[in-house]
Structure 1
């Protein structure tokens, strides 16, 4: 997996202060989707703790109606409550899954923690069954740490 090579590109993208933060996050989504063959939808959600909702900031992949997700609902909503990574090898086996596309088979969601608070998450859907490894998880945690540092 090209994660080592991607780290330098992602670091450079996130630190490019000539671009707005949302544009940098979008570029990270594009890099991930174009480089990792089984990353079919990549997006960043951010939390509104007052309304207890997640709001989609930017993404690449198939269009989605899930731009606002209540805490606790779906995989993303569960991560907003648990503050923990959630790797789903088979979305059909999850009772609390929000289907974005019938072709999605797996999902990984990693929280973005800043000053001890869950402020958002990266969400990745895959059309491949059980594609995510601990290497994906560590890499995405690293991205979330870098994202938190620019916010």
Structure 2
């Protein structure tokens, strides 16, 4: 993965004068297009004071998982653990919410503002075992930049 070029392009999105929602959508679109094994890219954010996540911008197939309770599935577990969660093979996860038979792996990285977990970026892949430390580094970078514009 060519991290420098991806980060450089992402910075043009972050520095653009578009709305936060448009920036988030552009990030989803770009990552889904640019990284061949990113088949679904989306943001979930804490839904007000409720203990649930609400889907925001995304790129990929539609999902019925618009609301995810804390603790449920990979996203819900990250909302509770406050840690990155890399699942190289979703079939080996007990607490997994299936987004479709094509999904083989998932990576979720939380977004923090002032130490509070406010949301996350979620990537599904139709490839088993694709994610590396570089993916985590890239998505942590994205989450730090997103936190700065929220």
Corresponding position of 2:9 = 9
SS of 1:146's equivalent in the other structure is helix
Moved over 4 A (4+): none
Corresponding position of 2:40 = 41
Q: How many residues align?
A: 150
SS of 2:142's equivalent in the other structure is helix
Q: Distance in 1 between matches of 2:100 and 2:47?
A: 25
- 1:20 to partner: Cα distance: 1.2
- 1:8 to partner: Cα distance: 1.0
Are 1:15 and 1:150, in contact at CA under 8 Å, matched by a contact in 2?
no
1:35-55: CA deviation from partner (whole Å, max 9, x where unpaired): 000000000000125211101
Map 1:1-150 onto structure 2 (within 5 A). 1-16=1-16, 18-48=17-47, 50-150=49-149
SS of 1:13's equivalent in the other structure is helix
Q: Which runs of 5 or more structure 1 residues have no equivalent in the other structure?
A: none
What is the TM-score of this pair, normalised by structure 1? 0.97
CA RMSD of aligned residues (A): 0.8
What is the TM-score of this pair, normalised by structure 2? 0.98
